[in-house]
Amino acid sequence: MLTLEERKAIPEIVAAECKGEYPIISHIGCISMDQAIELGKHAEKVGVDAVSSIPPFYYKFSWQEIRGYYSDIMDNVDVPMIVYNFPAFSGIDLSSRDYIRILRVKELSV
């Protein structure tokens, strides 16, 4: 429910108050990938330690679109990504295999 500017102000304030004493994770999840990337770049600029994002929600996004969403963010933001799985609100339940595929970890055969 916050505007993009309000969402940018939060990590600015937290980073200024924490002064590097505590790790900061900024949630950048949006339906708009461009806005998520903008929030991620801003969070990186103000000094957060990681960003997190829930999968894009509301519309029925395909698996490829969800994977592309995370991939595009990780290609444009140079802090660690935390994939936030909250199926009750996103409507998507990510499995361990999904995490591996999103985060581009080489899959192991079991």
Residue 48 within a domain: yes
* Arithmetic mean of pLDDT over the chain: 89
Residue 45 within a domain: yes
Name the nearest CA neighbour of 27 among 83, 90, 75: 83
Q: Which helix (DSSP H) or strand (DSSP E) does residue 83 occupy?
A: strand 81-83
| pLDDT score of 84 | 86
**Domain tally, the chain:** 1
| pLDDT score of 107 | 46
Name the nearest CA neighbour of 34 among 6, 4, 64: 4
Domain that holds residue 18: 4-102
pTM: 0.86
| pLDDT score of 51 | 97
Residue 75 within a domain: yes
**Looking at the predicted structure, is the pLDDT value of residue 10 above 90?**
yes
Question: What are the tens digits of pLDDT across the range 57-78?
Answer: 888 888 889 999 999 999 999 9
Residue 110 within a domain: no
